[in-house]
Amino acid sequence: MTYADVYRRSIEDPEGFWMEQSETIDWVKPPSKALFADNAPLYEWFKDAQVNTCWNAVDRHVEAGRGDQLAIIHDSPITHSTKGITYRELQSRVASLAGALRAKGIEKGDRVIIYMPMIPEALEAMLACTRLGAIHSVVFGGFAANELAVRIDDATPKAIIAASCGLEPGRVVHYKPLLDAAIDAATHKPDFTVIFQREQEVAKLIEGRDFAWHSFQYGVEPAECVPVSGDHPAYILYTSGTTGQPKGVVRPTAGHLVALQWTMTAKYNIAPGDVFWAASDVGWVVGHSYICYAPLIAGATTIVFEGKPVGTPDAGTFWRVIQNHKVKSFFTAPTALRAIKREDPTGAFIKDYNLKNLQALFLAGERADPDTVNWAAEKLGVPVIDHWWQTETGWVIAGNPMGIELLPIKVGSPTVPMPGYDIKVLDEGGHPLPNGQLGAIAIKLPLPPGTLPTLWNAEARFKKSYLTTFPGYYETGDAGYLDQDGYVYIMARTDDVINVAGHRLSTGAMEEVLASHPDVGECAVIGVTDALKGQMPLGFLCLNKGVDRSPDAVIKECVALIRDKIGPVAAFKLAVVVDRLPKTRSGKILRATMVKIADGESFKMPATIDDPAILDEIETALKSIGYAKR
């Protein structure tokens, strides 16, 4: 079968296509049909099945005789350690943790927040939740206590599982004080927490509320897998929207299993026993799908890497991991390659390692710039495959299905739509545009299995954010075009989301924080182009009348405020004080025009601008910090 055959079938006969794919999964009760459309435009897949995620990711491989194969390799250049966990060990560790959670009252449907760094215990915590049918929500370690508190109040977890600390190069991230502060700040209080004590920092536990990971499990009965219905949420993952309130993307259990298994063979060409590595973080969707679930569902070995592309200890660390653990498919973000290329432009480190097992490099998370793709392809000598997806979809929307056939690579395009994604480029009125024309990218409903059926506790917001602008379609929030061969090009976001080092951030959320500074009257945050991180946030601050403090002092406080309220991951370091912001006559801030000025690009004077002279003031302010250079 060619890609074209597979794709056509998925669009013409989605029911038959996905029922066939569902045969790769172990069901307690198989689905009677694939698509449930009675509540359209809300759709469910495999809703009437009974199934368990952890069984499919762990136990079934032990039953099938793969118990002695490595399930997880933890490689931490930060702690100078490597360790392996077999499927059999993983099964007993996860069953024990799940048993301890159950003994403390965690049941099917309860939420559990997981706040952990890149250690195998993070995956074990996720799997222990899905084993019980509890719904986990992993929070990225680079977020501040306030962001954690917002998630606690939205997900209302019965328990929080955390580690005592995370390790960034040269700095210990003190998770426990952040966790304590978040619980204090949140209105909802969890019944208890479980703390994995790392040797780098032993956290102080609060008696009666905090339990140590090991003693908590002592003497408990291991838990078996609890069947859940196909539409049961496997997890909630919060992602940035246009406001400070993150969106809780719900991942449905059965569709997630079927879709991820499909991707492992058809997209990444991975078979049981192969080694797959996604150098991301469990706090992001890539970490959920491709560090934890998909490689394990497929019976492969996954790598949990605690380090950075450069500086831990050098720009050769990725290649060392690929060589030492015989990685077959490697997945990272373009920004990581840019960091490596900057330190090692000739690829000298690559030559030091034997990368014979590597079949392909997959890129996602942000637009893959041609320079970086060409550099990697030349230095590594393997296909460099860009692919496009979102937290909302959980798996690739457009990619190159190398397990079916490797289509010709067009640098700058993540290739073609994957099964079930009927991609259209629309104009503002929702009419399809001809090939080559830039527009809003939308996907005809229903989305395929595994994609979000709704937002947690926010169905109205789900409909408003994704289903309203273009009735009958899912609005991706990305703009781009299709070429004459059906290749997709993703060019920009249509909303206030920016992408900093592969991390999705909301400028709206940053503006809310800046506006809370007592001296700031008005503000705007934009994403400016950055050679390493793709984009960097840049703030414009208008100070309140009568404020006569030095602008630099206010800027410094604003930088600290964002780090404190959102977290270091926001990478907010640039701001300027201006008198006024450019606006339309109806009062809308002209952020897109400000981006063009900052990047030194030419722009068309917006017809609705209120006072064009303000743009000169913006340009002068930007020049004072080294931007707006033509």
The amino acid sitting at 251 is R
Asked if residue 313 has a cis previous peptide bond (ω within 30° of 0), the answer is yes
In the complex with ligand COA, which residue's Cβ is closer, 235 or 389? 389
In the complex with ligand COA, which residue's Cβ is closer, 102 or 504? 504
Q: What track of x and - describes contact with ligand AMP for positions 137 through 176 (by CB under 6 A)? A: ----------------------------------------
Smallest gap, in angstroms, from Cβ of residue 391 to ligand AMP? 3
Q: What track of x and - describes contact with ligand AMP for positions 224 through 263 (by CB under 6 A)? A: ---------------x------------------------
Residue 420 backbone phi and psi in degrees, to 5: 85, -15
For residues 29 and 52, give the distance between their C-alpha atoms in angstroms, rounded to a whole number: 10
For residues 7 and 131, give the distance between their C-alpha atoms in angstroms, rounded to a whole number: 33
Smallest gap, in angstroms, from Cβ of residue 341 to ligand COA? 11
Instruction: Kindly identify the residues of this chain, within the stretch 359-418, that bind ligand AMP according to CB under 6 A.
Output: 364-368, 386-391, 414
Q: Binds 280, which of ligand AMP, ligand COA, none (CB < 5 to 8 A, cut-off by type)?
A: ligand COA
In the complex with ligand COA, which residue's Cβ is closer, 228 or 566? 566
Give 386's contacts (C-beta < 8 A, 6+ positions apart): 362, 363, 364, 368, 373, 399, 400, 413, 414, 415
Count of positions (residues) in the chain: 630
For residues 509 and 524, give the distance between their C-alpha atoms in angstroms, rounded to a whole number: 11
Q: Are 366 and 334 in contact (CB under 8 A)?
A: yes
Smallest gap, in angstroms, from Cβ of residue 413 to ligand AMP? 9
Q: Are 533 and 524 in contact (CB under 8 A)?
A: no
Q: Binds 285, which of ligand AMP, ligand COA, none (CB < 5 to 8 A, cut-off by type)?
A: ligand AMP
Q: Are 168 and 117 in contact (CB under 8 A)?
A: no
Q: What track of x and - describes contact with ligand AMP for positions 25 through 64 (by CB under 6 A)? A: ----------------------------------------
Number of residues that bind ligand COA (CB under 6 A): 26
Number of residues that bind ligand AMP (CB under 6 A): 20
Q: Which of 139, 490, 520, 598 binds ligand AMP (CB under 6 A)?
A: 490
In the complex with ligand COA, which residue's Cβ is closer, 88 or 174? 174
The amino acid sitting at 308 is K
Residue 260 backbone phi and psi in degrees, to 5: -65, -40
The string of DSSP letters for 20-78 reads HHGGGS--SB--S-SEE-TTTTS-EESTT-EE-HHIIIIIHHIIIIITTSEEEEEEETT
Give exposure, 207-216, as e/b (b: 16+ Cβ within 10 Å): eeebbbbeeb
Beta-carbon neighbour count of residue 347 at 10 Å? 18
Instruction: Kindly identify the residues of this chain, within the stretch 504-563, that bind ligand AMP according to CB under 6 A.
Output: 504
* Residue 283 is a binding residue for ligand AMP (CB under 6 A): no
Binding site for ligand COA (CB under 6 A): 141-142, 166, 168, 173, 279-281, 284, 286, 308-310, 332-333, 335-336, 339, 364-365, 501-503, 568-569, 571
Binding site for ligand AMP (CB under 6 A): 239, 285, 364-368, 386-391, 414, 477-478, 490, 493, 499, 504
